[in-house]
Amino acid sequence: MHTFDPHNAEQTLIDIGVNLSDSSFNKDWQEVAEEAFQAGISPLILTGTNMQENQQCLQMSQQSTVPLFTTAGVHPHSASEYSAETSQQLRTLLAEDSVVAVGEAGLDFNRNFSTPDEQVYAFEQQLELAAETGLPLFLHERDAHQKQLEMLKAYRSNITAAVAHCFTGTQQELYNYLDLDLHIGITGWICDERRGSHLHPLLKDIPENRLMLETDAPYLLPRDMRPKPKSRRNKPLYLQHILQVVAELMNKPAEQVAKESRTTTIEFFNLQNRV
């Protein structure tokens, strides 16, 4: 197994999706971030999902002793809270140095915590913000691929970049996103033999300059970790395990996948000279 040298910046992994503002991290978020840093996983990109968590993630990025960046946006579950004032508040947040993407934004027609119309409105407003600010998009989508694709196509020429965060879709959905020159975020979902095995052959279809890695912590603890962690809480530390699985499935050395995904991530989030 490849051992990362946390003192060698060229070898560090970047976790593009960490829900560090989740309540499960309330007591030890700084220790969790430090633990990842010591293991060669740095920086972490925190995920903002509503206005309260956006502020919380920003404060974490400013208070942390290790490098943290964050997204700022409104998840489709919270779309019913979106207003004209929200756009102005987001515009202010997106001007902060440590905020590197618009999102988590998109459509989720699976649970419809907000109505489809509310979701479409909130997503369109955030597509506008991405076009206005030049920041990349951090995307969520569930059971809404065709509508999301339609909206992305309408804005794609005005948006610098976008990543399908936690991609779990079909081959056709992957190709649809790649045809739009989107990036693809892969999580520990691929470690779940019950529902992630369909992704295994698709990994080789993702170009090296489009693949990024993430834990989506505290969710999606890799099921195949041995020994199993005592807690079911996923942590950015476990990105190393996801890397090993991805590299094996792609038939590439882990060092190569790590380097390629890091280079891609730095370019996507415009982190040159910042990490």
Kindly report, residue by residue over 44-97, the tens digit of the pLDDT. 999 999 999 999 999 999 999 999 999 999 999 999 999 989 999 999 999 999
> Which CATH superfamily hosts domain 9-268?
Metal-dependent hydrolases (3.20.20.140)
145-155 vs 171-179: helix axis angle to the nearest 10? 10
pLDDT at 12 (0 to 100): 87
Closest by alpha carbon to 45, among 138, 127, 135, 107? 138
Kindly state the tokens that stand for 116: 């489809």
The structural domains of the chain, with segments of one domain joined by +, span 9-268
pLDDT at 32 (0 to 100): 98
pLDDT at 2 (0 to 100): 43
Q: Which residues contact 75 (CB under 8 A, 6 or more apart)?
A: 49, 50, 104, 105, 106, 108, 140
Q: What is the pTM of this model?
A: 0.95
Answer yes or no: is pLDDT of 180 > 50. yes
Q: CB atoms < 10 A from the CB of 142, how many?
A: 16
What's the pLDDT tens digit per position in 63-76?
999 999 999 999 99
CA distance 242 to 76: 27
